[in-house]
Amino acid sequence: MKISELRAGMGNVNIKARVIKKEETRTVNTKNGARRVANLVIEDEDKNTIKLSLWEDEIEKVKEGDEIEIENGYVSEFRGELQLSLGRYGKIISLKH
């Protein structure tokens, strides 16, 4: 799947991309208490980009420049911008550093 094909509400998204930017980790208060989150910008082979939100332990699994694969992600819209998330059932795999 390509980033240009992603639409809000899509689930079971599998995509390969490269991390081109990793923002600072921040702490947010959720209904489950304080949690760490970091936003990344990822780019596919066609140079299309999307934000990817990673939570807690997933944050340390990748760094800028990594080639990654997202399995079973989902797409939402936040402040008018598409965003890719792993959710409870998604998985991120670092392919090479």
pTM, whole model, 2 decimals? Answer: 0.90
CATH of the domain at 80: 2.40.50.140
pLDDT tens digits along 3-36: 999 999 999 999 999 999 999 999 999 998 999 9
Q: Number of folded domains in the chain?
A: 1
Question: How far is it, in rounded angstroms, from Cα 65 to Cα 61?
Answer: 12
Secondary structure of residue 61 in the 3-state scheme: helix
Q: Which domain holds residue 55?
A: 3-96
What's the confidence (pLDDT) of residue 49?
A: 97
Question: In DSSP terms, which residues pair with 72 in a beta bridge?
Answer: none
pLDDT tens digits along 47-60: 999 999 999 999 99
* 39 closest CA partner among 90, 7, 82: 82
